[in-house]
């Protein structure tokens, strides 16, 4: 087992080294060229992922109720392009801070006034994002426009230690590492109490603990930390989702605060899931369908698969005893914190 783990680690590092070289090459020609190189990497990634691709097309077609696999394949290929473009941009940002003019030219954001108004109330803002577009670039753009942002992150094992945290800080954003859940939750609380905007990605489900929700036809576990945090602190709960990935730059939209009146943590989690579900269905070509979390959850009818997932969850929680509620694995309560990752 140790041998195979080491092989996987070396393979990840090799992949990162190759992407790092491509990002340096693409960056020479400016933001537009880097975007084109990233989309080319996505095409290559899609072509090489032939084993995963078949299963993903079936899942995507079922989740979106598409009439045929051809439509699913077109969406999935665009998702690979968009996702790998974002990855390459993040790697380029880790190598050297990008110029402020580049940040400004690479993004268009609708709804900044809404975020400013919510932040001006002084109770902090919990800003929910997804694996759509370059979230780190969005955080840097917000910081450049005077928004005090704390970005919850979890670095990919493909990257050198500390690279993502340094990248975030170099672009004027406060980082909160999500690997130690309790510590991350405390740092999020402190950031909210200081009136900051805490930006966290919530779309891939929790490894342990969490709250059961329905997302794209699957019952998944959503990290419980952000819903609990919103209720306990009175922070505004808002979403910032990508709406476009033109070669000239990303487009994001910040929506008005979500009304949490009369909701408990489970209710807040369901509101977050509903907002993400609706947006992904509207822009399916931009979501990272190939991320390992959502695709590994079963659809409700797959009872045999559900049983295996639940058993796996029990053995992998490291002491957290899992149970099964409504056919989905549920671990003992914990302040599970979602995060943003470079992958």
Q: What is the pLDDT of residues 134-189, one digit of tens each?
A: 999 999 999 999 999 999 988 666 666 778 888 899 999 999 988 777 788 899 99
Res 342: pLDDT:
38
Burial 173-198 (b: 16+ CB within 10 A, else e): bbbbbbeebeebbebbbebbeeebbb
Instruction: Name the most confidently modeled range: 5-19, 176-190, 305-319.
Output: 176-190
**Confidence bin at 310 (pLDDT 50/70/90):** very low
For residues 269 and 211, is the Cβ–Cβ distance under 8 A? yes
The model's pTM is: 0.82
Res 25: pLDDT:
58
- Can you list the domains of the chain with their CATH numbers? 2-330 (3.40.1130)
Q: Is the pLDDT of residue 293 over 50?
A: yes
């Amino acid at each position: 087992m140790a041998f195979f783990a080491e092989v996987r680690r070396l393979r990840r590092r090799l992949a990162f080294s190759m992407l790092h070289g491509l990002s340096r090459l693409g960056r020479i020609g400016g933001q537009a060229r880097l975007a084109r190189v990233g989309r080319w990497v996505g095409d290559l990634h899609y072509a090489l992922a032939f084993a995963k691709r078949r299963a993903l097309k079936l899942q995507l077609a079922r989740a979106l109720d598409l009439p045929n696999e051809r439509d699913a394949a077109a969406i999935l290929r665009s998702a690979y392009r968009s996702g790998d473009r974002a990855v390459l941009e993040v790697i380029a940002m880790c190598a050297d801070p990008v110029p402020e003019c580049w940040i400004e030219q690479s993004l268009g954001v609708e709804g900044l006034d809404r975020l400013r108004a919510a932040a001006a109330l002084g109770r902090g803002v919990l800003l929910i994002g997804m694996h759509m577009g370059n979230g780190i670039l969005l955080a840097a753009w917000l910081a450049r426009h005077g928004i005090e942002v704390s970005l919850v992150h979890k670095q990919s094992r493909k990257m050198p230690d500390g690279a993502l945290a340094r990248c975030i800080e170099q672009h004027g954003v406060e980082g909160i590492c999500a690997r130690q859940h309790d510590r991350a939750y405390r740092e999020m609380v402190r950031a909210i109490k200081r009136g900051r905007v805490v930006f966290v990605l919530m779309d891939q489900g929790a490894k342990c603990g969490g709250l059961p929700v329905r997302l794209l036809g699957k019952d998944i576990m959503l990290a419980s930390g952000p819903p609990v945090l919103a209720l306990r602190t009175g922070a505004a709960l808002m979403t910032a989702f990508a709406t476009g990935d033109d070669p000239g730059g990303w487009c994001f939209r910040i929506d008005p605060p979500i009304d949490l009146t009369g909701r408990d943590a489970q209710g807040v989690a369901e509101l977050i899931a509903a907002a993400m579900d609706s947006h992904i269905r509207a822009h399916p070509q931009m979501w990272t369908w190939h991320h390992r979390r959502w695709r590994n959850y079963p659809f409700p009818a797959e009872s045999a698969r559900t049983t295996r997932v639940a058993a796996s969850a029990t053995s992998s929680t490291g002491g957290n005893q899992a149970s099964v509620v409504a056919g989905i694995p549920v671990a003992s309560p914990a302040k599970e914190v979602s995060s943003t990752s470079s992958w």
